[in-house]
């Protein structure tokens, strides 16, 4: 009997594993139940009861009409009662965008061949030329210390160059005078500029992100496009977009700013139909210099001049800033960054109806318009700016770790310094991989709303880790601000990226899994749509179909999670490759576990899951790490599987997989239902938690890679600005690294002579001269060491100032 039960369980697991249809389950039950009953030697009466119960079960579940009436209808009724209230803004956020690779991760069995079949990232000839010429020229013009400390603004010539060369028009089509760049090119431009100046990067990226140009492209009337797009592309208009206010930050749907439809006078025209808008906004980038203000407000029509309801919803308008009543000009000062950012206000400012973006037909659609555009902008701007800063930190930290010596040893060779160097290199590799893949998604005409939240959160959070680690590696060099400090301003300004475009705390706890569970899940959105459908017949049919497909989906992933967990992911068919095979297998295993745990969380916690932010955050962490791992594997394949990059791949993948395991453990530990806690533990970790973080040896290899010039280091830091010459701090550091490596054998000769007491001088330059005079080294080698000393001294020195000069620049 025991073996019979084991056999039945094995059959059930296999049926679930291969995602059997409802018909297959019923046929299996028809065979299995009688066998068990007979093997159990039950009485004839009991056997008859079993057959009757089985017959009724098969009838009710196997005949769609009966199943809907007896099973699905009551469940639908229950769902309608317990379904948490979804606000209009939440619904529009869920509806906005598209499902892309996140849908595969939610499937429980990602199609890795599909991921690898996506095109490789790359730029057109025109885009590469712009990056190599105009962007290079712009970076050479930028002195970030002068920008942030002296001017608190970009120099006039830089503003003019940005306008003249079309930096404001990267997303605008050529027919309107724009550059019409791909998302990958847009991302590459921001990355390179960000590696030189955060202020310049923000100034370039904001007009090409969520704002007037993108909104006009998608929703503007023909007249609005013809009027503004060319002027925006040529820099004749400086745009900004105002959404956030004092009483509506992350809860942007609660904006108190309003407009009232009415008649008024405008530009010499009397009694024309328009809107009187009142607003108070803050944190608006480029507002102090803007000539064109994009504005979000709630529209009301109390006199029914437009017909319909009084409250018309969030509406967007485009207002020239010279319109009477518009107030701009004052500035915020975000953490010593000099990008223009400030408040704007208006009190009953009258604008004609033609200022509404998209015209009257777009009234009340503002939130949807913003959400649909946000995915594209958030997928590019902050990930690119974070990647630029991280790449600079990686390149300079590796070089500084090799050049700077203590106890006659390069500091980067100390194990304590290897740890942060490893994090710097691997996090940079993974974030840049995700940046590339996400930009590719935009070029494939996706609007990945969930993925955009993932990449925004993790690029800025990992950017914070990298810049903190870089500061630790640089020590005193990093904390003394001045013209030769290439990290200090990035360190100061890191919280800006973490705060904007969806504060990271709320992005992690509410958005990634909160939206993903509904938007990316293959059945939940269908079930919700059926629940909200007022046509009862259609709703019941659609709900029944989605529900039983969902049940089959959940059983399949439960089975896969358990079996894959028992096997540690082994025996899963994945793309060929010795180096990456186990990573694909582990990700497939965790995808099944994630899909199963997401279903359990939604089924058991229901509407309360929305308030269980910590559990939601941990499930979001699992989804995020799987996406980052997918991007990293894709990058490794696209780059030709270079062996030199394996330390970066191994450290980043092992770190993320360990974090997935840890996030699951947190979900299980804190799940409020004890029974489900036990079930999740058994189904996800049937063989226990056996993944480990990256080893010290792997970290050592990553650190060594950062400190050694070569193809791997160049690939990791590709696309940033590296100044020519030794006068610039970064250029001097690059030269010092090469010099340090070249001079190490010569220094060894001098050190050997010192130990043999052939050289006795205490100062380095004097030792070099003494070694030369003693014939230990040649005159040419002495000159080489003297130049090396000068380079190293320039690199390790920090800036100092006359006190009066510092006081003159205090706010």
DSSP calls for 124-149: -HHHHHHHHTHHHHHHHH--HHIIII
User: What pLDDT is recorded for position 648?
Assistant: 98
pLDDT tens by residue, 367-396: 888 888 877 778 999 999 999 999 999 999
569 Ramachandran zone, left/alpha/beta (phi>0; psi -120 to 50): left
Task: Return the closest-CA partner of residue 122 out of 632, 635, 614.
Answer: 635
Is 501 designated active site? yes
User: What pLDDT is recorded for position 90?
Assistant: 61
Which residue positions in the chain have pLDDT lower than 50? Answer: none
Read off the tokens for 508.
């992690």
According to DSSP, residue 500 is labeled S
According to DSSP, residue 356 is labeled B
User: What pLDDT is recorded for position 30?
Assistant: 62
The pairing of strands 258-266 and 311-320 is unpaired
In total, the chain counts a number of residues equal to 811
pLDDT tens by residue, 280-299: 999 999 999 999 999 999 99
| Alpha carbons 172 and 230: distance in angstroms, whole number | 8
CB 619 within 8 A of CB 613: no
| Alpha carbons 484 and 487: distance in angstroms, whole number | 9
Q: Which of 280, 372, 461, 501 is catalytic?
A: 501
| Alpha carbons 232 and 112: distance in angstroms, whole number | 41
């Amino acid at each position: 009997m025991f073996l019979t039960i084991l056999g039945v369980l094995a059959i059930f697991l296999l049926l679930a594993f291969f995602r059997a249809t409802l018909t297959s389950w019923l046929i299996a039950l028809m065979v299995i139940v009688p066998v068990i009953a007979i093997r159990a030697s039950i009485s004839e009466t009991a056997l008859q009861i079993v057959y009757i119960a089985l017959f009724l079960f098969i009838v009710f579940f196997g005949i769609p009409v009966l199943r809907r009436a007896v099973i699905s209808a009551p469940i639908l009724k229950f769902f309608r009662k317990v379904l948490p209230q979804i606000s209009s803004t939440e619904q529009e956020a869920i509806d906005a965008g598209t499902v892309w690779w996140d849908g595969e991760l939610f499937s429980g069995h990602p199609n890795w061949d599909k991921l690898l079949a996506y095109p490789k990232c790359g730029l057109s000839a025109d885009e590469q030329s712009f990056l190599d010429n105009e962007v290079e020229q712009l970076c050479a013009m930028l002195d970030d210390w002068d920008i942030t400390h002296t001017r608190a603004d970009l120099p006039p010539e830089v503003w003019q160059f940005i306008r003249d060369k079309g930096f404001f028009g990267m997303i605008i089509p050529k027919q309107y005078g724009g550059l019409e760049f791909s998302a990958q090119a847009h991302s590459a431009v921001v990355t390179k500029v960000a590696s030189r100046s955060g202020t310049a990067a923000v100034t370039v990226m904001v007009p090409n992100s969520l704002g007037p140009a993108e909104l006009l492209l998608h929703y503007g009337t023909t007249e609005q496009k013809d009027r503004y797009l060319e002027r925006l592309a040529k820099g004749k208009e400086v745009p900004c977009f105002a959404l956030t206010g004092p009483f509506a930050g992350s809860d942007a749907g609660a904006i108190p700013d309003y407009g009232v439809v009415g008649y008024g006078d405008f530009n010499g025209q009397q009694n024309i139909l328009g809107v009187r808008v009142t607003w108070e906004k803050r944190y608006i980038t480029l507002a102090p210099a803007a000539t064109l203000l994009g504005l979000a407000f709630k529209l009301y029509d109390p006199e029914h001049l437009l017909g319909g309801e009084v409250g018309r919803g969030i509406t967007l308008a485009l207002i020239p800033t010279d319109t009477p009543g518009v107030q701009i000009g004052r500035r915020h000062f975000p953490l010593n960054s000099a990008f223009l950012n400030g408040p704007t206000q208006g009190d009953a400012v009258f604008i004609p109806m033609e200022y509404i973006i998209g015209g009257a037909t777009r009234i009340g659609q503002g939130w949807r318009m913003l959400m649909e555009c946000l995915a594209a902008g958030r997928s590019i701007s902050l990930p690119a700016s974070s990647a630029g800063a991280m790449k600079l930190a990686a390149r300079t930290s590796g070089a500084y770790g090799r050049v700077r010596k203590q106890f006659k040893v390069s500091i980067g060779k100390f194990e304590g310094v290897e740890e942060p160097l490893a994090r710097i290199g691997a996090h940079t590799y993974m974030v840049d991989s995700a940046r590339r893949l996400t930009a590719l998604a935009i070029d494939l005409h996706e609007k990945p709303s969930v993925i955009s939240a993932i990449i925004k959160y993790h690029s800025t959070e990992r950017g914070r880790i990298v810049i903190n680690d870089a500061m630790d590696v640089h020590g005193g060099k990093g904390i003394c601000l001045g013209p030769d400090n290439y990290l200090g301003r990035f360190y100061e300004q890191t919280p800006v990226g973490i705060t904007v475009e969806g504060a990271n705390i709320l992005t992690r706890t509410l958005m990634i899994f909160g939206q993903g569970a509904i938007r990316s899940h293959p059945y939940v959105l269908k079930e919700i749509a059926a629940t909200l459908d007022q046509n009862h017949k259609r709703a019941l049919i659609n709900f029944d179909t989605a529900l039983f497909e969902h049940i089959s989906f959940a059983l399949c992933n439960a089975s896969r999670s358990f079996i894959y967990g028992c096997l540690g992911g082994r025996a899963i068919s994945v793309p060929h490759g010795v180096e990456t095979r186990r990573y694909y297998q582990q990700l497939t295993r965790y995808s099944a576990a994630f899909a199963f745990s997401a279903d359990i969380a939604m089924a058991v916690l229901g509407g309360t899951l929305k308030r269980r932010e910590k559990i939601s955050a941990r499930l979001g962490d699992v989804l995020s790490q799987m996406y980052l791992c997918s991007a990293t594997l894709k990058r490794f394949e696209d780059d030709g599987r270079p062996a030199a990059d394996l330390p970066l791949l191994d450290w980043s993948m092992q770190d993320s997989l360990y974090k997935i395991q840890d996030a699951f453990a947190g979900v299980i530990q804190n799940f409020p239902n004890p029974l489900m806690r036990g079930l999740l533990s058994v189904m996800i970790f049937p063989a226990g938690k056996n993944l480990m973080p990256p080893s010290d040896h792997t970290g050592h290899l990553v650190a060594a890679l950062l400190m050694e010039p070569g193809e791997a280091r160049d690939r990791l830091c590709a696309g940033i600005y590296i100044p020519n010459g030794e006068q610039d701090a970064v250029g001097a550091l690059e030269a010092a690294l090469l010099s340090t490596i070249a001079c190490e054998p010569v220094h060894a000769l001098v050190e050997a002579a010192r130990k043999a007491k052939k050289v006795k001088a205490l100062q380095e330059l004097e030792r070099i001269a003494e070694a030369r005079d003693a014939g230990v080294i040649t005159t040419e080698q002495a000159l080489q060491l003297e130049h090396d000393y000068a380079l190293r001294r320039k690199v390790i020195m920090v800036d100092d100032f006359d006190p009066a000069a510092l006081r003159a620049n205090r706010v």
